[in-house]
Amino acid sequence: MLSVPVLIGLVITVAAVLLIGLAAAARRGASPARDHDTQRPAAPELLDSSPPSQYDLSELGRRLGVSRAVLERFETGYRTAEIPKPRGGVRRLEIPNEETKKLQRTILRRLLTSLDVHPFACGFEQGTSIVDAATPHEGRLVVVKMDIRRFFESTTSARIFAYFREIGWDAASADVLLRLTTHNGHLPQGAPTSPKISNLVNAPLDEALLRLVRRHNGAYSRYADDITMSFDIRRGRVVRGLTQVVRRILKSYGYTMHGGTKLKVLRRNQRQQVLGLVVNQKTALPRKTRRWLRAVRHHASVGRPVSLSEQQLNGWESLLTMVKTQRDD
C-alpha cells in the first residue's frame, strides 16, 4: 500500500501533466494560421517569435471608428514633391492626399501615440525636444555625430509588418495597417504616421546602439536620423573603431550611415554642437546666436529697425527659454 506522501506526489504529477496538456491544446487553438505570414516580406524569424494574435480586423475598425468594409476597400493616394535642403541637395517627400492623411492621423491618435518608444529616441515624441537629445552629451571629451542616409525610405514594409504582428495584430489587420501607413515598400516621408512608426520599429536598434555605447561608459541619443554618441575617450583609433561598429549595426537593420562631412568627431577644444545646441559645458544656443538675439531685442526695445518680425522674435525667445528650462530641470 502506498504511503500518503507517495499518493500526494502521484496526484501532483498527474495534475501537472493534465495542465500541461490543456495549455498546449489552448496554444494550438489560439495560434493563427501561418500560411499567410510566410507570404509576407517580413523576416520569418520575427513573425515566428511573435505572441499569438489578439486583435483582428473587427477590433481594428472598432478602435479607429471605421467599418471593416471601409478599411478593406480604402485606397491610399500620394503625390511627390521635392524641397531644397539647407546645405544643398533636395529632400523627396511623398505626401498623402487629404483622405489618406485623415485616416493616418486617426491611426496615429488612436493606435500609435500611446505606444512606448525607446527612452533615448527623442524626435517626434510628446514631451521631448532637441534639448533631451543634446543634454546627455554635456562636458564630454569627444562627441560623435552620425547621420542615417534616406532614413524613412530605408525603413521597410517588412519590418513594419513584423512590428504590427509582434504587438498582437493578426495577419489581415497587419496587412491593412501596412497598406495604410507605407508607400512603395517603405515609410513615406510626409505621412503623419511615419515619424512615430520609425521610432517604434527602431527600438531594438536604439537598444543595440545604447549597449555598445554603455560598454565604453558613453552617452547615446537619436533624433530621427541623427545619431549622437559621446565618450571620455582620448584615443582616436578607438573612436574610429566604434563608428565602424555603428555602421555595421545600422546595416543589419537595413540602414546606411552617411560618411564624409556628415560624420563628425568633435573634441573638447572644438565647438561640440548637437542639433544646433552647444554642449561643451551646459547645453545652450551658440554664443553667436545669443549675442545676435540680445542685439535684436535691444534694437526692438529702443525703436530701431530689426531684421525679425515680432512673431519671429517671440519664437527665438521661446526657444531660448525652452533650452534653459529643460536643461536645468
* DSSP bridge partners of 230: 143, 219
* pLDDT in the model for residue 23: 40
> DSSP letter at 33?
P
The total of other beta-carbon atoms located within 10 Å of residue 275's CB is 20
Q: How crowded is the C-beta side of 15, counted as CA atoms within 13 Å?
A: 6
pLDDT at position 20, please? 38
CB burial of residue 159 (10 Å; 0-12, 13-18, 19+): buried
Q: What angle do CA 92, 222, 44 make, to 5 degrees?
A: 75
- Kindly state the cell numbers that stand for 270: 572644438
Give the span between the Cα atoms of 195 and 112, in whole angstroms.
11
Mean pLDDT for each 10-residue chunk of the chain (329 residues)? 39 38 39 34 38 83 95 96 82 95 98 96 93 97 97 97 96 97 97 98 98 97 97 95 97 94 94 96 94 89 85 91 88
Closest residue by Cα to residue 54 from 159, 201, 162, 167: 167
pLDDT at 14: 36
Are 21 and 135 in contact, with CB atoms under 8 Å apart? Answer: no
Residue with cell 536645468: 328
CA distance 22 to 32: 18
For residue 200, the Cα-to-chain-centroid distance in whole angstroms is: 5
**How high is the pLDDT of residue 7?**
35
Q: Cβ contacts of residue 105 below 8 Å, gap of 6+?
A: 192, 193
- Contact assessment for residue 216 and residue 242, using Cβ atoms and an 8 Å cutoff: yes
CA atoms within 13 A on the CB side of 62: 5
Say what the pTM is: 0.80
d(CA 101, CA 192): 7
Find the angle CA(112)-CA(114)-CA(119) to the nearest 5 degrees: 100
CA distance linking residue 48 with residue 90, whole number of Å:
40
pLDDT of residue 51: 57
* Separation of alpha carbons 295 and 226, rounded Å: 31
pLDDT at 52: 60
pLDDT at residue 50, rounded to an integer: 53
Whether 194 and 188 have beta carbons less than 8 Å apart is answered as: yes
Q: Give pLDDT, residue 260.
A: 85
Are the beta carbons of 72 and 57 closer than 8 angstroms? yes
Measure the CA–CA gap between 54 and 34, rounded to whole angstroms: 15
Per-residue pLDDT, 89: 78
At 81, phi and psi to the nearest 5? -140, 150
Model pLDDT, residue 46: 36
Beta carbons of 145 and 263 less than 8 angstroms apart? yes
Counting Cα atoms < 13 Å in the Cβ hemisphere of 327 gives 20
CA–CA dist 291, 277 (Å, integer)? 15
CA-CA distance, 304 to 298, in Å (whole number)? 8
Instruction: Tell me how many degrees the CA angle 295-297-302 measures, rounded to the nearest 5.
Output: 95
